Amino acid sequence: MALFRKKLDLPTPGEALPGRATRMPIPPSHFVTGEPLDGVFEGCERILVAMGCFWGAERKFWQAPGVVSTSVGYVAGATPNPTYEEVCSGLTGHTEAVRAIYDPKQTSYEAMLRIFWESHDPTQGMRQGNDVGTQYRSGLYYYDDAQKTLALASRDAYQEKLRAAGYGRITTEIGPAPEYYFAEDYHQQYLAKNPNGYCGLGGTGVSCPIGVVSA
């Protein structure tokens, strides 16, 4: 079916699916932490990333010290409130994303960046391992100038580490945090609900020292 073909180019505005105005319903609480998936988190900060299939990526963050809540969704596309099937068609332009809420008194943005870079291969373009398509592209999206500075510095530092290890150019798209559309309920904390579920996440084995991204 055309809906499920693998597209490796982002759709033009004229090609993008129309989507809908209705927001995806989400569960009232995180399956692992019990915290809300959305809302105001007093004293907390957030990071928004894309690193391949969001099932395994989300687990990396909810397992990290200092993380209060996580969720998965779709970002950086043209279709409002897309469904999973629409995103997989390649006709929305979105990539699968993870949003993590963390307590800066217990961890840091730099520590979150380290999880991001080390947990996937950011040199693979429109794929991640065996998962191929625009929805699996790597992305790092900042919420303010401080995050932007650290995101770019971490990319440049990690690029040098990767090059020394024989890897190519980082293809991660870095830009302002776009609108975040929650994914369907069954995708949220998927690997906690399905411990034997698929996880295609794999890093390069190249370390990204936290010190290299300090301001």
Q: What is the pLDDT of residues 155-214, one digit of tens each?
A: 999 999 999 999 999 999 999 999 999 999 999 999 999 999 998 888 999 998 765 444
Asked if the model's pLDDT at residue 2 lies above 80, the reply is no
Q: What is the pLDDT of residues 169-185, one digit of tens each?
A: 999 999 999 999 999 99
Q: What is the predicted pLDDT for the residue at 16?
A: 96
Residues 137 and 50: beta-carbon distance below 8 Å = yes
User: Any idea what the Cα angle at residue 96 is, between residues 73 and 110, rounded to 5°?
Assistant: 85
Catalytic residues: 53
Amino acid at 162: L
What are 186's two structure tokens?
């069954």
Q: What is the predicted pLDDT for the residue at 120?
A: 98
Q: Which residues pair with 95 in a beta bridge?
A: 75
Q: What is the predicted pLDDT for the residue at 200?
A: 85
Q: How far is CA 81 from the centre of its chain?
A: 17
Tell me the angle at which helices 145-164 and 109-118 cross, rounded to the nearest 10 degrees: 40
CATH 3.40.50.720 corresponds to the domain 36-195: no
Report the distance separating Cα 184 and Cα 99, nearest Å: 14
| Residue 3 pLDDT class (50, 70, 90 cuts) | very low
This model's pTM is above 0.85: yes
Report the distance separating Cα 95 and Cα 51, nearest Å: 9
Please state the rounded mean pLDDT for residues 76-102: 98
Q: What is the pLDDT of residues 34-68, one digit of tens each?
A: 999 999 999 999 999 999 999 999 999 999 999 99
Report the distance separating Cα 98 and Cα 165, nearest Å: 27
What are 199's two structure tokens?
């996880």
| Residue 125 pLDDT class (50, 70, 90 cuts) | very high
Element (H, E) at 116: helix 109-118
Tell me the backbone φ, ψ of residue 173, rounded to 5 degrees. Answer: -85, 130
| Residue 74 pLDDT class (50, 70, 90 cuts) | very high
- Which percentage of the chain shows pLDDT scores above 90? 90
**Which of 54, 149, 46 has the alpha carbon at shortest distance from 94?**
54
Q: What is the predicted pLDDT for the residue at 157?
A: 96
Residues 123 and 168: beta-carbon distance below 8 Å = yes
